[in-house]
Structure 1
Amino acid sequence: MESSGDDSIRVFVRVRPPDPNLDGDLYHAHCVDVTSATSLSVQSRPEPKVFTFDHVAGMQTTQEDVFSAIGRPIIESCMCGYNGTIFAYGQTGSGKTFTMIGFEYLFSLINREIEKCGDLVEFLCKCSFLEIYNEQVFDLLDPASSGLHIP
């Protein structure tokens, strides 16, 4: 599990499937099309606009695929001693929380290292899950929190 040494910010975009609860032709009209693994086009006038990202996931991409592309490499870098951050933004149900919950994978890697090295290795894990909704900050690991202030 070697780090790639790339500590840059990367942008991953996932295009969600259309909502089947929408009525009529609006459901069938797509305004965003994935054109490659790194670009998408947005239907606009007079011509579509093309945007490029580090990675673009199409409508068939599963939550597991998103985790494998984003969460897994960050967790593996953490096991090498690097700090990792995932900033997830998107609509409800778009996979933000699923992508960020890599605890099971992280702890399986930690357990494997402890089994291999015993008392020669020590781990310190710190995690924050914050939600910003309607200009209010909530600590998702402390349900009693509300309206937190971030300095």
Structure 2
Amino acid sequence: MVKQTIQIYARVKPSRRPAGIYSISNEEAGAPSLEIIVPRDLADGFVNNKRESYKFRFQEAFDQETKQEAIFDRIAKPVAESVLTGYNGTIFAYGQTGSGKTFTITGGAERYSDRGIIPRILSYIFEQFQKDSSKVYSVHISYLEIYNECGYDLLDPRHEASKLEDLP
């Protein structure tokens, strides 16, 4: 029996630069939304009829101020808890190059508080193992990158590209 359905979240990339033009609404009925505003470029005096507002719905949207700990608590910890009860768990980060996927997943090296989902979830799981010595656990971890139709096993020291079907 599936404990939880697929959940989709959005996170606006943490940045030291001023916040971009976006808004997050958690007050609407249904799912929270992330609205991105792209101002029209009025250069050269041409008429520009392109859309300015793009609105997307998610289970939850996180702004630039959201800390790594909050991301872990809201997204990864429930997956870890399901894994500890015997379900498979997957956390999949998707986005364009430079959108903050690596920071969210692995974290930053500057501060301990910037640890990402992977180090936090591993710590959490092994803490739970230590609390319950009545069970024997077996852990299998995959860490894959898919880029331009090639797959990379990020735990393989050879760092070679593979066909997606050849990855473990």
TM-score normalized by structure 2?
Answer: 0.70
The answer to whether the aligner puts 1:95 opposite 2:104 as a matched pair is yes
> Does the aligned pair in 1 maintain the 2:105–2:117 contact within 8 Å?
yes
Distance 1:133 1:150, change over 3 A: closer
Offset from partner CA, 1:52-106 (integer Å, 9 cap, x none) = 1001111110111111111111001111111111111232454122223311111
Name the counterpart of 1:126: 140
**2:88 alignment counterpart:** 83
Matches within 5 A, 1:1-151: 6-18=3-15, 20=17, 30-36=20-26, 38-44=32-38, 46=51, 48-90=53-95, 91-92=99-100, 93-97=102-106, 98-101=116-119, 102-114=121-133, 117=134, 121-151=135-165
Q: Over aligned residue pairs, what C-alpha RMSD do you find?
A: 2.4
Q: Alignment identity in percent?
A: 31
CA distance in 1, matches of 2:161, 2:13: 30
Q: Tell me, what secondary structure is at the counterpart of 1:50? A: strand
Unaligned runs of 5+ in 2: 39-49, 107-115
- In structure 2, relative to structure 1, the CA distance for the partners of 1:125 and 1:49 (3 Å cut) is same
Cα offset for 1:134? 4.2
Distance 1:18 1:126 in 2: 33
Quote the offset at 1:6 in angstroms: 3.9
User: When the two structures are superposed, what TM-score results if normalisation uses the length of structure 1?
Assistant: 0.77
Q: Flag structure 1 segments of 5+ consecutive residues without an equivalent.
A: 21-26
Q: How many residues were matched structurally?
A: 136
- Indicate if the aligned counterparts of 2:151 and 2:162 stay in contact, CA closer than 8 A: yes
What are the Cα deviations for residues 24-56 of structure 1, in whole angstroms up to 9, with x where unaligned? xxx56x232212272111215555232210011
Q: CA deviation at 1:18?
A: 4.5
Q: How far is the alpha carbon of 1:138 from its aligned partner?
A: 1.5
